[in-house]
Structure 1
Amino acid sequence: MKQAEIPVNEKSRLKTLEKLQLLESGPDENYDNITKLASMICGTPVSLVTLIDEKKQTFKSKIGTEISEAPREISHCSHAILNPEDIMEVKDTREDERFFDNPYTTGNPQILFYAGMPLKAYNGDVMGTLCVLDVKPNSLTAEQKDALKALAKQVENLFELRRHNLELEKTTFELKEKNSQLRNFAGIVSHDMKMPLANMIITSDLIKAKYSSNFDEEGIHYLDYLKQSSYKLSNYITGILQHYESDSLFDSSIEEFDIHDLLENIIDLLNINYNCVINLPEDNMMLNCNKIALQQIFINLIGNSLKYNNKEEIIIDVQCSNGGDFYNFAISDNGIGIPKDKQQDIFELFTIVEEIDRSGNRGNGIGLSTVKKLVTSLGGDITVESEINKGTTFKFTMHKSQCN
């Protein structure tokens, strides 16, 4: 028996095999389908997808045998991988100096025929083979060889798909880590900055109340500006925190509730001090979904309808319906509207449509981005219809599969 030489690129080959994590990936029907076809096309009782590491060869897929691995030093495939570009065919192992006294040749059952096509990874390193075996001498026709090569290409495609999936998993993990860091940072900023800002607001009021007689009109204006700027920064920080904490809303449990009760609680939370009429859905529909996430969506959308409205009487209509696989919602107002050329961008983070709201405060472009993020994560979609000085309607859906 003659042992196979070690490939010149052995270190690179083993590193690639480790990187693809093929040995740890377990059984896969996609590989099994290929070995079944190889066995049928080549007319052999045994077909394997083998992976060759430093000490042994492992059968990633197997048809016609119960063996899962074999020592590398007696492996036929160890010889096959030395020629990455072509099939190694041994028509009768008893007549080949490499295998005539191999345990698989002399054992029971005997392997008397072998044909293996090397399997290459993305960088050309050979991972193993797609091989067919027989217990009697045999040979492949030209058509069978072409078919075996074509099937080997499909195995290589699976290798490449796995590489892309691993890279995607790594990128996803890194993004989750970065998002977690951003959320933690937002929490720290919120805690460490909002208290000083609150102190600045209170202090400006105290100074104005106690020492206003010592200030001229310009000095009073500066105190008001300080207070207004502090409020603006505080609201900005709150918006960022809500945006990055929105992911945690999906940890909330699904619960049953009626839409009227949800909206009435939101109206109380908003503490509306405008002349305002909010028309609830005509039918008080029962919902079974993520109440916390839906509440946050409504708070942002109704809040915008209140802030960006220049009418003496604000009118907001809320609709809700059951549409098969989806819950459907709509919020309409008689506000200032959104220009056509800006309607496609309003859901982008930090996009601002109107410079100031009803109270003279400048928006931060975070709220609608958070709404879009929540709706998308709930398996739905959101659209906007608007006309300047007539009003705006936001329509969004929630997929019921996200409510189970």
Structure 2
Amino acid sequence: MKAGLILESPFPYPESNLEPLDILETTAENEYDEITRLASKLFGTPISIISLIDGRRLWFKSKVGIRVTELPLEYSLCKTTMKTKSRVFVVCDASKDENLASHPLVSGPPYLKFYAGAALIDKEKNKLGTICVIDNQAREVNYEDVKCLQILSKKVVELIERRKKEKLLKEELRKVENFAKTMERFALSTAHDLRSPLQNMISISQFLVNNGVKLEPEKQMEFLSHIYLNSKNLLEYINDLLDANTGISGGIKNESKALSILKLEHQLHNLYGAFQKVQIKVKADIEIMHLRVLPFTQIINNLVSNSIKHSCKKNELSVINLSIKSFTDKYELHIEDNGIGFKNTHKLNSTTDYEINSGSKKLGLRIVNFWLSELNANIEFYNHRNGSGVLLVVPRIVP
């Protein structure tokens, strides 16, 4: 072949970003090194390189006959292979090539003359880099030589493609592991949230068994009504869980998107107002909330339950005030009680801080954390004049 011969092949491929492959700056790998050694052996050249393009440099994944690990793109002969509309670029004697004779690596040390490079092209037809053989002696090549270089380039691309598949597989495995952890938290949350209405029904039923004959019919009906409403709430929650579609990401989908403030108030009263000394007041500037109902109601139930169990003073009426303000893209909810407050007066901005400063490790806030992530909501704990409070910021869904 003559000096400067380019084997034409349409090549409208863009240069690719190698960062997602996590291959740059990796250590030497025998499979790549075997290919560069084979290339030098086949062509009889002292230098062979597998280079990958990274911005304005060529980084050498594998090399024979040189010490440097990279070159600026403007000083590399491989840039011609990357820019040309060819899969293979061959220069038999660069000192006689009008385009390359003045190149610093040709006109000066190491006085390179022979260069043959094949582009590395992935399945998406991106140029990843080159495999090349270099000599400071002029050489002639034939089409069989070029064919061998193309075969070697395909072998390099196969290694890179395999790396890409392995990376994708690791990402999928990580998703599966995260999903398993999410399901574990979800199961814990479900068991926790089913317990409160069941405990209420058991308590009321036990009270009726022991004292029912002593009660007036109206009082008996009141307690039976609480059992009925708790059973109904429990059934609605179970139906929501059954209707929810849990994908691989762990996201809970397809649940209700609208919640009546009046219904929320009734649910809280039925859950916590039957036997306990609890007064729950709800104030809102809207009648309907548009949000993901399932995670939202579980957060509210857990926060109110925790406030009653762990924050309120003994032998006193527990007063829980829930205020709701509506904004264009969110809802802000304040849940305030007349309890003992937190040990530290500074604002707390996470459930972890809440556990530490409240002095209790059993506040069920792991459950709250799970539902917060599902709802993409934010939470903040604070003290106020008469007790403790929680600020919950929840995304609003456009109906």
The two structures have a TM-score, normalised by structure 1, of 0.48
